[in-house]
Structures are given as C-alpha cells and as structure tokens.
Structure 1
Amino acid sequence: MKLLLLFVPCVIALWVPLYNFEPPALFGLPFFYWFQLLMIPLSAVAIFAADRIGKT
C-alpha cells in the first residue's frame, strides 16, 4: 500500500498525454501548467501518507 501511494503521483506526472492540452484555463493558466502545480501538493500528501503508513 505504501509503495502504491508513492507510485501513483509519479505515474500521473510522467503520463504527459493525460494533461497535454490547453483548455480549461484556470486564472489564465492553461491546463498543462495548473495541473502540474496541483500535482505538487497532491504528491506531498501522498508522500506524507506513505510515511505515516510506514511508521505504523
């Protein structure tokens, strides 16, 4: 379970066809950019959750 939490954000970030388009824009930023910016806190949450699971 711990490794899956770390694996999923990596695969999503590296699977470029998933987010390689411009619309929908958010605050003037194309989807390509704001999706990557959204992945930063989501990856941090996944790392934190994997760490908590690993310490139990």
Structure 2
Amino acid sequence: MSDVPEVPPEAAAPVVTPTRVVIAVCLFAPFVALLWVSSYAKTDPTFIGIPFFYWYQMLWVLISTALTMTAYKLWQRDQRTRLGGNR
C-alpha cells in the first residue's frame, strides 16, 4: 500500500483551460481600459453634450457589468463540468 493520501478532485491543482482564459480576459479588460487614462483623456467627441472623458467611463460601467456576468456564468459552467455535473 502507498502512504500517499488520495487528493479529492476539488483539491486538485488548478488547470488552465480556454474557458478560464476567457474568464480572465473578461475580468481584466475593464481594468486595462480604465487605467489607460491617456486613451480617453479628451473632450471630443461629445455625446448629447457630455464630454468623451465622462461618457466613456459610464459606458464601461455597462460593459463591465456584461463582462462580469459573462465571466460568472462561464465559471459556473466550468465548475459544473469539473465536478462531474452533480450540481
């Protein structure tokens, strides 16, 4: 007999899969877009009288929500498949 205990599947080492890469990109994209201030630090073009600087950031609130929701749904699906679909 071996003295090495078996590792349950939930405690196995993390695996990099294409789904997890997409999840990471979905969560990382808003940080890159909003921390790169020089790309949107301008007033033109305006949208209904609002300078670009402001409406660009507000647009990213909506985009970030959609990306976070997508990442969450992908994570749920990844966990269901990883744990054998017993959820």
Q: Which of the five TM-score ranges fits, normalised by the shorter chain?
A: over 0.9
Q: Percent identity?
A: 34
Which has more helix, going by share of residues?
1
Larger relative contact order (CA 8 Å, sep ≥ 6): 1
* Structure 2 unaligned regions, length at least 5: 1-21, 78-87
Backbone CA RMSD of aligned residues? 0.6
Structure 1 runs of 4+ with >6 Å offset: none
State the partner residue of 2:71.
50
TM-score (normalised: structure 1): 0.95
Cα distance in structure 2, aligned partners of 1:17 and 1:9? 15
Larger radius of gyration: 2
Within-5 A mapping of 1:21-36? 21-36=42-57
